[in-house]
Structure 1
Amino acid sequence: MNKLIYITLLSLVFSCKNNAQPTPKQTELLHAEPVQVPLKKGMAKAYFASGCFWCVEAIYESVKGVKDAISGYSGGHTKNPTYASSNTGKTGHAETVEVIYDPNVVSFETLVDVYFGSQDPSQINGQGPDKGSQYRSIIFYQNEAQKQVILKKKERLEHQLNSKVATEVYPFQKFWKAEAYHQNYEKNNPRNSYIQNVSIPRLNRFKAKFPELLKKDH
C-alpha cells in the first residue's frame, strides 16, 4: 500500500480528532499539589505521554536502568478511564506510560531527555498520524525539583528550535493502567501494520539518536 495512503487511512482509523474539554475540573489539575510516588525496592516511577503508548512503552523499555514500562492513562479529571472513553476527549486523559526505573542507573533528567528526543516536540494534540487530545504530549512532575528540570529542558529546546514546544507540564495525580491487550503491544504484535509502519520506525529513530542509552539486548 502506498505509504501516504496508509498514513491517511491510519489517522482516520486509529485517531479521534478532538480537543481536551476545558472543564473547570481539568483546569484545576494544573494547580493541584503533585503526588509523590515512593520508591519501591529501590525503584522509582516517572510518567510520560507523547502519542500512542505502544510507541512510548517500547522506547522506554529499551533504555538502560528501566525495569518496565506500563501503558495507561493520566492527566484527566475522570476516574477509571478506558481506551474508548479517553478517545472521546471528554475525560482529559492522555495515553501515558509509567516508567519504572533504577535511579542509580538512569536519572529522571535522562528520562526527560529521552522524552524530548523521541518525538516531534512541536506537534500539538498528537504524534505522527495519531491526532487527538488523548495523544497530546505531557510530562508529569512529582515535586518541585522535577518540575524545574522539565521547564528548563523545555525552555532550552524551544531556544534551540526557535519555536514553541507543545509539551504540557502537569503535576502528577494518578495513573490508570490500560487494558491488558495494550501491554507490551509492540513485542506481542510485531506484524501489526501500525507497529511495522509507525511504532518500529519511531523506536529505530530513537535508537540511532541515543545509542549510548540502550540496553545491551537492544
Structure 2
Amino acid sequence: MKHILPLLAITLLFSCQNTAQVNKKQQAIINAEPVEVPLKNGKAHAYFASGCFWCVEAIYESVKGVDESISGYAGGHTKNPTYESSNTGRTGHAEAVEIIYDPKVVSFKTLVDVYFASQNVTQVNGQGPDRGSQYRSIIFYQNDEQKQIILKKKEDLAKQLNAKIAAEVYPFQKFWVAEDYHQNYEKLHPNHPYIKNVSIPRLNRFKANFPKEFLKENH
C-alpha cells in the first residue's frame, strides 16, 4: 500500500479472498520448467519478491557483488503487467527485483540469505504495511541446484523459528521491468513519507543484523 488507506478499506482488503494463486493459468506457471538466464559479461541474474520493490531494490544494492537491482514484476500468468494491473491482485504477479551480480564475489546462497534476513519470513501475502498477493514473498529458482538451496534454507528457518515460512518457491519464467519512475525510488526520493517511514527503516534493520563482511561500505 504505499499510501494510507481508511480503516474501512483496510478491513475490506483483508476480507477479500485472493484467487490470484489458485486459478489454472497461475498453477501452470507454478508447475512450469524453470528458465535459466545465461551469464552475461560474467554477471548472473537472480529474482526475488519480498513486498514493496522500492524496499527490496535498496536492500540488495547494499550487498557486495551486486551491480544492479531492478524493480519489476514476476510470478504471474499475464503478459506486460503494469503497476496498476498488478495491484488488482488478479494478474498473479508480485512486485519483484532482478539482481545482477558477480558470482565470483557473492553466491546465490548468500543472496538467498539476504532475502530471508530482510523480511518478516512468516508474513503471508505482504510485508509490513503492504498487503495483497502483489506484495507476497516469492523466491525464484532457475535450476535444481538453486531450488535445493532455497528449500534447505526454508526448512532450516522453519525449524529454527518453529513456524511456517511464508515465501513461495517458483520456477523462474520471465521478469517484466517496472515503469521508469519506480527505478532507484528510495535513492531518488529520500523524503517520500513511505521511504522515510518504511523503506529506510527496513534497510537499516537488515544492515544492522546482517554480517558486515557481505555489505558495501558507506552505502
Q: Give the alignment's TM-score, normalised by structure 2.
A: 0.92
Structure 1: which 5+ runs fail to align? 1-5
Contact kept? 1:20, 1:91, Cα under 8 Å: no
SS of the counterpart of 1:124? coil
Between the aligned partners of 2:30 and 2:127, the Cα distance in structure 1 is: 22
Structure 2: which 5+ runs fail to align? none
Aligned positions of 1:1-218 closer than 5 A: 19-21=18-20, 22-210=22-210, 211-218=212-219
Contact kept? 1:52, 1:135, Cα under 8 Å: yes
Count matched residues.
Answer: 211
SS of the counterpart of 2:45? strand
Shift in CA distance, 35/165, structure 1 to aligned 2, threshold 3 Å: same
Between the aligned partners of 1:133 and 1:144, the Cα distance in structure 2 is: 26
The offset of 1:76, in angstroms, is: 0.1
Contact kept? 1:7, 1:129, Cα under 8 Å: no
Identical-pair percentage: 71
SS of the counterpart of 1:92? coil
Between the aligned partners of 2:158 and 2:188, the Cα distance in structure 1 is: 36
Report runs of 4+ in structure 1 exceeding 6 Å deviation: none
1:26 partner amino acid: Q
2:89 partner amino acid: G
Shift in CA distance, 200/186, structure 1 to aligned 2, threshold 3 Å: same
Between the aligned partners of 2:177 and 2:115, the Cα distance in structure 1 is: 20
SS of the counterpart of 1:73? strand
Contact kept? 1:71, 1:98, Cα under 8 Å: yes
The offset of 1:217, in angstroms, is: 2.5
